[in-house]
Structure 1
Amino acid sequence: MSTPVASQARGGQVPRRRIPARWIAVALAVALLAAIGLSTQYRSAESVAEPSRKQFDPVAYGERTYESKVVPAVKRKAVELPVLVKAMNTDMEGAGRQYGIRQGNGPYSFAVKGTGTAGAVRSGLMPVAVPGLPPGTRVSLQVGPVINGTALRDSVGFITFRQFLNQVEYAQAATALNDQAWEKLLKNLNAPGLRGKKISFVGAFGFLTPSVVTITPVSIKETP
């Protein structure tokens, strides 16, 4: 008589095999990773590096800042040029602290006003003979069309590097203000026609030496 096969269950049914627990764990892990992969959005290195702030617009910055803020500040802070030059010749550091603005350890910038006789325009500069200055002092107004320097930006005190993303934007802000000075004041100014006439002016300059004063103007007017 033959012996019944041990693997057969009652009724002739073959029992189901049990799946090892570790196989189940592996399958669940694979499914979880697949789900994560499907729901994940990948970004390029360039998109991750993109700043969330709006891109700086130098033209818009100049238009909203020059006439409404910079010009009034320069006029309000302006010191008579002979007073400033005398103070600079006596004590440069003291004059800077009293009348000027500086960023960090940079040179001082000053807002000034004065009256004098206009000379012949050369290379975008109009010399002005201002009474009361030490002999040899050379005063010039930038009349364009190219306006150089950062005096309008630096002399008002409320425009600082921290307001901008980087040095490029900071420099663009200065250029934008210079461009506004050209558009709003100098573009339609008959600077050559002022030769020999008495004028009053308001503007700003960055310190070079007490004997060389090159001013970016925000106002130039012929006076009686």
Structure 2
Amino acid sequence: MSTTATAREHDARTPRRRIPASWIAAALAVILLAAIGFSTQYRSAESVAASGPKRFDPAAFGAQNYESKVVPAIEKRAVELPVLVRALAADKDAAGRQYGVRQGTGPYSFAVTGTGEAGTVRSGLLPVTVPGLPEGTRVSLQTGPAINGTALRDAAGYITFGQFLNQVEYADAATALNNRMRQKLLASLDAPGLAGKKITFTGAFNLLGPTVVTITPIAIEEAP
């Protein structure tokens, strides 16, 4: 028998060693992890935050909107307060449609201007006696330090809920405008010193009742 034939016969009788399946699985896992590592782009927490939706900044919203947009919008829409109050007394819905703005079925908001005699500040409100109003109508201007309500946001006419992510941001926008007004108008206003003087005012209010008008002002000054 030849040497070659003997070698083939020996190979046929010798069982081949098999690679364990667990080794193969482990090798494949290593290859997969290496591939993932090469293709993965690691990002810092700062870069992830920067690429997401931009967070609403109330202070920036107030600064960007109050002087440049809200004040001109209210000045343009402002109606003489006696004219508006008489119209509301005659037909509230008709007056709302003619002079006010609202979203959905919410209350109407109005931009107004007027002239009257200032009273004594109480609880952050400056009462004003305005000639030509129906008897029993009480008019007050908010003078702070707390400024409540959403009248500036609502009466501007261009700020809507759909522009914000949720109700919290929408409410924060109103507060931001109030804060900006307080900084730009009320911080330098001697409201107690106006008592007994004739003043003119411009501002906005949300209609809550026919005889109580609480105005968030954008302008208050002594009348000539």
Give the TM-score normalised by the residue count of structure 2.
Answer: 0.83
Give the SS at the match of 1:115.
strand
Question: What amino acid sits opposite 1:82 in the alignment?
Answer: P
Question: What amino acid sits opposite 1:218 in the alignment?
Answer: I
Give the SS at the match of 2:144.
coil
Deviation at 1:29, TM superposition (A): 6.6
Residue pair 1:118, 1:126 contacting (<8 A) in 2 also: yes
For residues 81 and 33 of structure 2, the distance between their equivalents in structure 1, rounded to whole angstroms, comes to 75
Name 1:179's counterpart in structure 2.
179
Question: What amino acid sits opposite 2:208 in the alignment?
Answer: L
Give the SS at the match of 2:178.
helix
For residues 67 and 206 of structure 1, the distance between their equivalents in structure 2, rounded to whole angstroms, comes to 20
The change in CA–CA distance for 1:133 and 1:51 in structure 2 (over 3 A counts) is farther
Question: What amino acid sits opposite 1:123 in the alignment?
Answer: S
Residue pair 1:80, 1:112 contacting (<8 A) in 2 also: yes
Name 1:57's counterpart in structure 2.
57
The change in CA–CA distance for 1:160 and 1:51 in structure 2 (over 3 A counts) is farther
Name 1:208's counterpart in structure 2.
208
Identity of aligned residues (%): 62
1:9 aligns with 2:13: no
The change in CA–CA distance for 1:36 and 1:108 in structure 2 (over 3 A counts) is farther
1:159 aligns with 2:159: yes
Give the SS at the match of 2:87.
helix
1:67 aligns with 2:87: no
Residue pair 1:109, 1:205 contacting (<8 A) in 2 also: yes
Give the SS at the match of 1:104.
coil
Instruction: Render the CA deviation track for 1:29-67: whole Å, top value 9, x for unaligned.
Output: 756654565445799xxxx99982211111111111111
Question: What amino acid sits opposite 2:143 in the alignment?
Answer: V
Instruction: Render the CA deviation track for 1:147-201: whole Å, top value 9, x for unaligned.
Output: 1100000001111111111111111111111011111011111111111111110
Aligned length: 218
For residues 33 and 202 of structure 2, the distance between their equivalents in structure 1, rounded to whole angstroms, comes to 70
List aligned pairs for 1:81-160, cutoff 5 A. Answer: 81-160=81-160
Name 2:193's counterpart in structure 1.
193
The change in CA–CA distance for 1:17 and 1:213 in structure 2 (over 3 A counts) is same
For residues 153 and 120 of structure 1, the distance between their equivalents in structure 2, rounded to whole angstroms, comes to 27
List aligned pairs for 1:24-39, cutoff 5 A. Answer: 33-35=32-34, 37-38=36-37, 39=39
Give the SS at the match of 1:203.
strand
Name 2:77's counterpart in structure 1.
77
Residue pair 1:145, 1:187 contacting (<8 A) in 2 also: no
Deviation at 1:27, TM superposition (A): 8.4
The change in CA–CA distance for 1:217 and 1:30 in structure 2 (over 3 A counts) is same
Question: What amino acid sits opposite 1:9 in the alignment?
Answer: R
Runs of 4+ in structure 1 displaced over 2 angstroms? 12-20, 25-43, 48-51
Give the SS at the match of 2:219.
strand
Unpaired runs of 5+ residues, structure 1, are none
